[in-house]
Amino acid sequence: MSLAAVRARLGPLERRRDLLIEALHRLQDGFGALHAAHLRALSEEFSIPQAEVFEVASFYHHFDIVKEGETPPPLLTIRVCDGISCMLEGGEWLASSLEAELDPASVRIQRVPCIGRCAGAPAVHAGTRAIERATVGSVLAAIAAGDTRDPVPDAIALDAYREGGGYALLGACLSGARSVEEVIATLSDSGLRGLGGAGFPAGRKWEFVRAEPGPRFVTVNADEGEPGTFKDRFHLERDPHRMIEGALIAAWGVGAGSVVIYLRDEYAGVRALLEREIAAVKAAGLDAHAPIDLRRGAGAYICGEESAMLESIEGKRGLPRHRPPFIAKSGLFGRPTLNHNVETLYWLRDILERGADWFAAQGRRGAQGFRSFSVSGRVRDPGVKLAPAGITTRELIEEFCAGMAQGHELAAFLPGGASGGILPERLADEPLDFGMLDTHGAFVGSHAIVVLSQADDLRAVALNLMRFFRHESCGQCTPCRAGTEKFVALMEQGSCDPVILRDLEQVMRDASICGLGQAAPNPVASLLRYFPEVLA
């Protein structure tokens, strides 16, 4: 009985190990949860041990496992963001108020990490529908109307994109009118870097992957889960083919035979949009040299780390890999892999059409290019701001965000989301670009700027960020798993001994496997350096 139900729900989906997470999604979507009998049937259907199916399903936050005899969760879940930007705008009050209003037997309220709607804080997912600047009234109205599915964004579709010259550049590359060497040189001269956080030069990445023996892959990281970051969603909701064409050009450039896009599960409307537009690209034969495969995550911040993302694409738990080897040599399915985030690929067409000098000239103070800054917090006009690399926080606020919000004065800011540190107002005139904040113990990462004012409790801000890291640690290595837990416990108990905090910080930086554990101490380290009084 269960096997027949699972087979019907999976339909023609290939029974491949790397499609296990998609299979779990289909069962969760169809039955409202992952029931034990269905997981056993899935194990049989995929010829995977039950223990492996369970360990994958239990790793991801968006899967609900219902054991024998347990009551399944309500069909409707309201996810209230408790990320830093939503905390500032009353997210906890909203969650508590909804709990008081709604029957827990019919509606489940969950507090969840950042859902990528920071400019519209507080933000809520009612089902899959995102509600920005949410109120109790707006959430109740959505439930009453049955408005719980995220709409497909009104983006530039394939025909309109091609009418504006889209895919002509790809055609020139595939026809030989553009050489790979010319394209790589242009990218290198432009100063384009990986804009997912690491900032590695894009042209050098292509050279490394291209030098490895095939077959090769291109992967696109659209899993932005860093609190305060929403720029990839912004670009995909408006002009998705800039990213798609960029990915197909990248595949041509490194000789990859496949493109895999990994999209965070919170972006349901974007997923429907990409499914539609990728189908149109296939129908037009534009991806014949490198077919596109769209995969969705399942609620795990760690999968923003490139090797953890590859593990997830392979249908496994998103555990970061030890390096070396780096993914340019041994990446997806053990093959050389070029990984870019959405924004990096978004800029390819402009750079190759307008030239390296055009892009390089856009920066300030020696930096090169544009950046998509995700700005939230205490500003009058939050949102994604296309601004020059090297701009200062104060300039960004005044020139692009219409200044500080009424009644608020700049007191501190996060220059790079949850992991980038917390800097005081006196450093708001420092340029924002890769490496420019190193001496201050901070970094720009994915360029997520969260602006804080005199009204904000910096200890509460740091505690919120540490709780996030505790929740999102994959648990693979002890320094990160135990370290994030210990940081939260120390901050919750009252005054903190700086010696203990610094010792814990050093252990996590030295011994954690990946960037999550290495950067997780940054909020507390920033308080010790700039605001020690709030920890006393």
pLDDT, tens digit (0-9, with 9 covering 90-100), for 136-179: 999 999 999 999 999 999 999 999 999 999 999 999 999 999 99
**What is the Cα Rg of the chain in Å?**
23
Question: What CATH architecture applies to the domain 158-354?
Answer: 3-Layer(aba) Sandwich (3.40)
**Whether residue 1 has pLDDT greater than 80:** no
467-473: average pLDDT: 96
Phi, psi of 292 (to 5 degrees): -100, 135
- Taken in order 178, 184, 190, 196, is the CA torsion positive or negative? positive
475: left (phi over 0), alpha (psi -120 to 50) or beta: left
460-472: average pLDDT: 97
Q: Alpha helix (H) ranges present in 126-199?
A: 136-145, 158-163, 168-175, 180-190
**Whether residue 395 has pLDDT greater than 80:** yes
- What is the residue whose two structure tokens read 């360990």? 55
Question: How sure is the predictor about 220, in pLDDT bands with cuts at 50, 70 and 90?
Answer: very high
Nearest residue to 250 (alpha-carbon basis) of 281, 200, 207: 207
pLDDT tens digits for range 404-414: 999 999 999 99
Q: Walk across the sheet containing 107-112 and list its strands.
A: 107-112, 76-81, 124-126, 129-131
pLDDT tens digits for range 326-351: 999 999 999 999 999 999 999 999 99
pLDDT tens digits for range 114-136: 999 999 999 999 999 999 999 99
Fold of the domain spanning 367-453: Ubiquitin-like (UB roll) (3.10.20)
Packing angle, helices 240-254 and 168-175, rounded to 10: 10
Question: What CATH architecture applies to the domain 458-535?
Answer: Up-down Bundle (1.20)
Question: How sure is the predictor about 197, in pLDDT bands with cuts at 50, 70 and 90?
Answer: confident
DSSP strands (E only) in 178-287: 217-222, 259-263
DSSP strands (E only) in 177-324: 217-222, 259-263, 292-296
Under DSSP, is residue 119 helix (H, G, I), strand (E, B) or coil? helix
- Are 461 and 421 within 8 A, CB to CB? no
Q: Is 48 exposed, middle or buried (0-12, 13-18, 19+ CB in 10 A)?
A: middle
- What is the residue whose two structure tokens read 């340019």? 328
Under DSSP, is residue 443 helix (H, G, I), strand (E, B) or coil? coil
pLDDT of residue 386: 98
- Give whole-number Cα distances, 502 to 170, 472, 523, 528, in Å: 51, 22, 12, 9
43-66: average pLDDT: 97
Q: Walk across the sheet containing 370-377 and list its strands.
A: 383-388, 370-377, 448-453, 410-414, 423-424
**CATH classification number, 2-66, choose in 1.10.4080.10, 1.10.10.1590, 3.30.43.10, 2.30.40.10:** 1.10.10.1590
- CA dist., res. 297 & res. 224, Å (int): 11
Tokens representing residue 239 in the block: 């002009």
Q: What is the DSSP letter of 535?
A: G
pLDDT of residue 198: 86
Q: Where are the domains of the chain?
A: 2-66, 76-145, 158-354, 367-453, 458-535
**CATH classification number, 76-145, choose in 2.40.50.100, 3.40.30.10, 3.40.50.2300, 3.30.70.150:** 3.40.30.10
234-261: average pLDDT: 98
